[in-house]
Amino acid sequence: MKKYVLLALLVPAVLFVGCQKKAGGAGKAFKVGMVTDAGTIDDKSFNQGTWEGVVKAGTDFKLETKYLKPSGTTEADYVKEIGNLYDAGYKFIVTPGFKFETSIFICQDKYQDAKFVLIDGSPNNGKYDATRQEKIGANTVAISYAEHESGFIAAVAASLQLKDGEIGFIGGMEIPAVQRYNWGFQQGVAYADKTFGTKIVMKPEHVIYQGTFSDVAAGQQLAAAMFDKGVKAIFTAAGGVGVGAINEAKTRAVAGKQVWIVGVDVDQFADGVYDTANNKSIIITSAMKGIGISSYDMVKAEREGKFPGGQALVFNAKNDGVGIPPKNPNLADDVQKQVAQVMADLKAGKITVAAEKGDLIK
């Protein structure tokens, strides 16, 4: 089976062009910490994916790792836990989510001998007027992803497999990264309908932002309501809320009903398994971004004295930073071949997906 998305090949040479000089000797021991965003460390999504990369780096390089979960999601909550990690000797700190932008803006200057990895954001003072300040410190790297491209290719795959019917979207908080997933997904549905003759419909009432990343029960309720109205599949970009939707789909699958979930951030196939003996899952595909690989590679870079401080790194289709899993038994072989060509066209620039609400650019 051809692997048309090679998320594992985020080549360090691509990522670390123009890196800083060594901050320490190769292999120097240091502690790696992480502060979680909204949700839990096992949210089957953003927190978990980031943490898994940290844990793998800790194992491979024999480093101490630790995460802290804030009591809230304010700037003060995040700054407090970053400070707690620092005081405990964890001076390499990974933070997943744009809500850390202002706390990292503060902490990168407060703790100048620490290193920070901000995923899905760029440090700023939180102002949206003439007083706005933006700064990626020399001890910080800001990582972002082309979620719209990931959502697009996942939508094409799901549309080709389903062929017709309704599909929905459940987002967590209405933030830029989640919006890009939604907009890219809608463009992918439209592209598949126009290019391959599929007949997939997304109704406005089936595009919902729940408002959190943690309300599992709400996710299950929203999914149940959509499935009851005939929706065949739901794309969930919602952390713990998405877990609730997955649970609802699994319950229905066990009862003999065919419904699907499009996973997010990581390959969620295993989380959707409802028949272990036959390895059957309700995850038709997943819109992925290399969050775990990103956190791992940043730790690796620091260990090798190549931490790309002061830089903003973008992971997209062209550098294999986003895509869908290379294997999923729920996608037919002919579907995977068609998606492979679409992915190749996306990487080659023959297809451009809008990063904002709107139609496919070309």
Dump pLDDT digits (tens) for 92-128.
999 998 889 999 999 999 999 999 999 989 999 999 8
Closest by alpha carbon to 146, among 106, 180, 97? 180
Asked whether residue 243 carries a pLDDT value surpassing 90, the answer given is yes
Q: What is the rounded distance in angstroms from the CA atom of residue 48 to the CA atom of residue 12? A: 22
Task: State the DSSP string of 177-240.
Answer: HHHHHHHHHHHHHHHHHHHH--EEE--GGGEEE-S-S--HHHHHHHHHHHHHTTEEEEEEE-TH
DSSP character for 173? S
Higher pLDDT, 38 or 9: 38
Length of the chain: 362
**Predicted pLDDT at 358:** 65
**Predicted pLDDT at 304:** 95
Q: What CATH superfamily is the domain 12-145+291-315?
A: Response regulator (3.40.50.2300)
What mean pLDDT comes out for the span 241-262? 97
Dump pLDDT digits (tens) for 31-67.
999 999 877 888 767 788 899 999 999 999 999 999 9
Q: Is the pTM of this model over 0.85?
A: no
What mean pLDDT comes out for the span 6-28? 41
Closest by alpha carbon to 196, among 152, 159, 165, 166? 159
Band (2; pLDDT cuts 50, 70, 90):
very low
Q: Is 233 left (phi over 0), alpha (psi -120 to 50) or beta?
A: beta
pLDDT mean across residues, the chain: 90
Domain with CATH 3.40.50.2300 in the chain: 12-145+291-315, 147-288+332-347
Dump pLDDT digits (tens) for 78-96.
999 999 999 999 999 999 9
Q: For the CA atoms of the chain, what is the radius of gyration?
A: 20
Instruction: Look at strands 283-289 and 322-323 and give their pairing.
Output: antiparallel
The single residue listed with the structure tokens 């598949």 is 192
The CATH number, out of the four listed (3.40.50.300, 3.40.50.2300, 3.40.1080.10, 3.40.50.1860), of the domain defined by the range 147-288+332-347: 3.40.50.2300
**Predicted pLDDT at 113:** 97
Q: Which pair of tokens denotes residue 96?
A: 């997943």
Higher pLDDT, 337 or 45: 337
CB count in 10 Å sphere of residue 40: 17
Dump pLDDT digits (tens) for 133-173.
999 999 999 999 999 999 999 999 999 999 999 999 999 99
Q: What is the rounded distance in angstroms from the CA atom of residue 71 to the CA atom of residue 46? A: 18
Task: State the DSSP string of 322-349.
Answer: EE--S--TTS-HHHHHHHHHHHHHHHTT
